[in-house]
Structure 1
Amino acid sequence: MADDRVHTVIIGGGFAGVYAARRLKSADVRVTVLDRGTSHVFQPLLYQCATGLLSEGDIASPLRHLLRRHKNLDVLLGEASGIDVENRTITATRFDGSTFTIGYDHLIVGAGMRQSYHGNEQFAAHAPGMKTIDDALAIRRKIVSSFEIAETLATAELRRPWLTFVVSGGGPTGVEIAGQIREMATRALAREFDTIDPAEADVVLVHGGARVLESFHPRLSHKAQRILDKIGVRTLLGHHVTDVGADHASITDKDTKATHRIDTHTVLWTAGVEAVPFAAALAAATGVTQGRGGTIPVRPDLTVEGHPTISVVGDMMSLDDLPGVAEVAMQSGYHAAHNIARAVGGSPAPYTPFTYRDLGTAAYIARYHALLQSGPLRLSGFLGWLGWGGIHITFLAGTRNRTWTLASWAAAIIGGGRGERVITYGDPETARRPYV
């Protein structure tokens, strides 16, 4: 029998999409969640998957399982690639390249962002970003195999490029992964090699700004810098990575324009994001001009100008300079769905303005050291670390994921080990040349 309920399509199974779906669970609507992957990924902990502290299963929850109690909801696997706003249809592309269409009455777009190389797309071949599970596993492969390859080399000179790790970007992700590589080298791997001393790993954090973690209060930022210095992360402020190859990174001083080369086989990229390709298709179809990074400008109620049935939420929306953080995605996804539920329920004024409630920002620096900033509250050190852990466990999806994550953290704190060091080579072609 045909289902004639209002059909809401949610593009994206990230924080925005999941919270939108949760709000519509009891609404008199039919919901379809479309995502290019099968799981909701807790992106704030991707760097811990990349450095062997957590498995990919600890930070990913299958969407079908996560939303299994939503009787009005379907999940479809595919990547949104086109939109017809007149006929209200979405074109989606399957893994095999074929396409299918989905009709909608209301649309919530929470497709998120991808890594930006600022016009230097060739960097991606040698400098993976940190936005997906694939990225995290590629980075894990680079890090673990670098130590393993160094173990087989005869001289310190030959080993040095394999034990040099360059991280581009001094925001939370860059700082977190730089700190984790040093912790991995000095704790987890310290007594596991015969030829090399993993603690000799040179981790270079390259950042164009005047201080790391510029979104935090300067006092917290300076504390983070002291911890990075203490654990042995070498920080180059006021510099950019301007070239990346299979065996090097070129670093340029912003002021003097002087460039020097660092011999390395591992460059990791966290310097900026941009909207996924669907954002351009949406902008063209709705007649709006994309904002910074390809974002879509929205009205205060999160709808696109002239298109009240289309809402854009999370990182892809441009509204009041809101930051691209998980909390914005959660709240905006929920709010857009709440407005739709009110409209379907017959409210005379369903589309209310979105108000963001800043519940705080946190960043992990090193063992027992993290930053937590929420309004006037600014914590660092051990208290910041406890607050950071509490926030992440609270918002991690699924009881199983919370349990295993806590267990992994406890094992790392007590024994210093990192059990998730399996490396994968991806598709068969990649497996034949795994270190490229």
Structure 2
Amino acid sequence: MDEQRHRVVIVGAGFGGLFATKALRRAPVDITLINGTAHHLFQPLLYQVATGILSEGEIAPPIREVLKRQDNVKTLLGTVTRVDPTARKVSVVAPGIAYEVEYDSLIVAAGASQSYFGKNEFAEFAPGMKSIDDALELRGRIFGAFELAELETDPAAIERLLTFVVVGAGPTGVEMAGQIAELAHRHLPGQYHNIDPRQARIILIDALPTVLSTFGDHLSTQALRQLHKLGVEVELQTKVVKVDETGIEVETVDGHKRIESATKMWAAGVAAPPLAKQIAEATGAETDRAGRIKVNPDTTVPGYPEIYAVGDMMALADLPGVAQVAIQGGRHAAGQIRKRLAGEETGQPFKYFDKGSLATISRFSAVASVGKFHFAGLLGWLLWLVVHLLYLVGFKNRVTAVMHWFVSFIGRGRSERVATFQQVYARRALQEYQDKLP
């Protein structure tokens, strides 16, 4: 009878989980990859789905297709709700079913959730940007706002519908604001009879005193200048205190004010998923303010050398919650498992190589920080283009993305403007379903 091979369970098929899985392709292990959806999500391009540039399929290939040539992996649909470190098993729920999976090594790469800083009620009126559902809902809200404004006769209602508020001036918020401005000022004019899309207001809000604060003063200033050229109103040192169906209330250096707006989107703050808290409680590990697990230098959970937490799940050396940290962390965890199975010494610290930060503002304009080098404008945009093409999974996805970028950036069209009522109003039904999960 054959001896059972080492069982590796990987939670999450984002950058950390997917790259960890691939790094174990030739290892003598049996991998079970568990993910809440059947697709891998290239999250940095979600804003392009929301603004009609790309389709969801171009940034979310099926996991089974991505891994179809890897024989040692089994993919399961489900959300891991509990890890039992003593019995070495995980509890999983999927629509209509619950099951358990045992492991010898566990890599937890469940990503992050949107943080509303304790005001989760804001989510109903200001969707985040963490999933395909979020992006499609925002697409429906953005394009739907122009359609409803075309029907209105009340100037106040038209102004409210054509006011778009983006909360959070990090890369996602800046990219969203820039693309909505391009929609209003470049792509949509001439397509409506009763409204002028160029009259739309795009407002970018952040509690910090700068946009793209992690990019440094020079690139932050360049980005702010480009946003102003696009007509984006940037309100810094501004804190959101209330969000409702028809507007948003903020506290500024000049006092309290209300902005009437039908379409709000939230790109400020992330938090670890509930699973991080459960693992911390089960293992006695500490967490940081965002709920991430404080791991050992080798990314293992203290006291449990068989459990690795990577990407947005881990708090280690103030590393940022970006794709490269997850990719390199997943590969590091996989490498540690290979070393252990080979009888080699393990425990080597995770060393992160910073490949830089990128954010696109508008067509042919982006900012990039790569080590000591800083790029802005066309050169930054070309670097952004190359990097994102490099990390898009699948040749087909790269080809169709280039085609749609050509239509959007060279021409004046948007390839993906289909929006449905279901996309806009399904959030409540999804929340009710999630509330029923154990």
Separation of aligned partners in 2, 1:104 and 1:145: 47
List per-residue Cα deviations over 1:250-301 (Å, max 9, x = no partner). 0111x45x21111111110011011111111111111112112100011111
Checking the alignment, whether the CA contact within 8 Å between 1:168 and 1:240 is kept in structure 2 is no
Compute the displacement of 1:315 (Å).
1.1
Correspondence 1:423 to 2:422: no
List per-residue Cα deviations over 1:336-395 (Å, max 9, x = no partner). 001101111221x12311100011110001111101111111000000000011111101
3-state DSSP class of the match of 2:386? helix
Separation of aligned partners in 2, 1:351 and 1:61: 34
Match of 1:264 among 244, 251, 261: 261
Match of 1:277 among 274, 278, 289: 274
The CA RMSD measured in Å over matched residues stands at: 1.6
Compute the displacement of 1:3 (Å).
6.8
Checking the alignment, whether the CA contact within 8 Å between 1:298 and 1:305 is kept in structure 2 is yes
Separation of aligned partners in 2, 1:428 and 1:51: 14
Compute the displacement of 1:427 (Å).
7.7
In the other structure, the counterpart of 2:329 is: 332
In the other structure, the counterpart of 1:184 is: 183
List per-residue Cα deviations over 1:56-90 (Å, max 9, x = no partner). 01101100110111100000000000111111000
Compute the displacement of 1:413 (Å).
2.0
Separation of aligned partners in 2, 1:385 and 1:430: 35
Separation of aligned partners in 1, 2:229 and 2:261: 23
1:352 is aligned with what amino acid?
Answer: Q
In the other structure, the counterpart of 2:305 is: 308
Separation of aligned partners in 1, 2:184 and 2:9: 45
Judged with a 3 Å threshold, the aligned counterparts in structure 2 of structure 1 residues 46 and 10 are, in CA distance, closer, same or farther, namely same
* Within-5 A mapping of 1:15-414: 15-96=15-96, 98-253=97-252, 255=253, 258-347=255-344, 349-414=345-410
2:406 is aligned with what amino acid?
Answer: A
Checking the alignment, whether the CA contact within 8 Å between 1:113 and 1:276 is kept in structure 2 is yes
Checking the alignment, whether the CA contact within 8 Å between 2:366 and 2:384 is kept in structure 1 is yes
2:191 is aligned with what amino acid?
Answer: E
Judged with a 3 Å threshold, the aligned counterparts in structure 2 of structure 1 residues 70 and 12 are, in CA distance, closer, same or farther, namely same
Q: TM-score normalized by structure 2?
A: 0.96
3-state DSSP class of the match of 1:40? coil
Separation of aligned partners in 1, 2:125 and 2:151: 22
Separation of aligned partners in 1, 2:185 and 2:42: 27
1:324 is aligned with what amino acid?
Answer: G
Judged with a 3 Å threshold, the aligned counterparts in structure 2 of structure 1 residues 3 and 222 are, in CA distance, closer, same or farther, namely farther
Checking the alignment, whether the CA contact within 8 Å between 1:425 and 1:431 is kept in structure 2 is no
Separation of aligned partners in 1, 2:420 and 2:194: 24
Separation of aligned partners in 2, 1:292 and 1:432: 28
Separation of aligned partners in 1, 2:101 and 2:189: 53
Checking the alignment, whether the CA contact within 8 Å between 2:366 and 2:376 is kept in structure 1 is yes
Separation of aligned partners in 2, 1:416 and 1:365: 17
Separation of aligned partners in 2, 1:167 and 1:405: 25
List per-residue Cα deviations over 1:38-72 (Å, max 9, x = no partner). 00000000000000000001101100110111100
Separation of aligned partners in 2, 1:65 and 1:75: 11
Structure 2 residues not aligned, in runs of 5+: 430-438
Q: TM-score normalized by structure 1?
A: 0.96
Separation of aligned partners in 2, 1:141 and 1:211: 30
2:70 is aligned with what amino acid?
Answer: H
3-state DSSP class of the match of 1:10? strand
Separation of aligned partners in 2, 1:328 and 1:95: 31
Checking the alignment, whether the CA contact within 8 Å between 1:343 and 1:351 is kept in structure 2 is no
1:317 is aligned with what amino acid?
Answer: M
Moved more, 407-416 or 264-273: 407-416
Judged with a 3 Å threshold, the aligned counterparts in structure 2 of structure 1 residues 218 and 31 are, in CA distance, closer, same or farther, namely same
Compute the displacement of 1:316 (Å).
1.1
Separation of aligned partners in 2, 1:381 and 1:431: 37
Checking the alignment, whether the CA contact within 8 Å between 2:140 and 2:424 is kept in structure 1 is no
Separation of aligned partners in 2, 1:428 and 1:249: 19
Checking the alignment, whether the CA contact within 8 Å between 1:23 and 1:338 is kept in structure 2 is yes
Query: Between the two proteins, what is the percent identity of the paired residues?
Result: 43
3-state DSSP class of the match of 2:405? helix
Checking the alignment, whether the CA contact within 8 Å between 1:203 and 1:233 is kept in structure 2 is yes
List per-residue Cα deviations over 1:193-238 (Å, max 9, x = no partner). 1111111110000011111000001000000000000000000010
Separation of aligned partners in 2, 1:316 and 1:289: 12
List per-residue Cα deviations over 1:168-216 (Å, max 9, x = no partner). 1010000000000000111221121111111111000001111100000
1:34 is aligned with what amino acid?
Answer: I
Separation of aligned partners in 2, 1:179 and 1:303: 39
3-state DSSP class of the match of 2:286? coil
3-state DSSP class of the match of 1:420? coil
Q: How many residues align?
A: 429
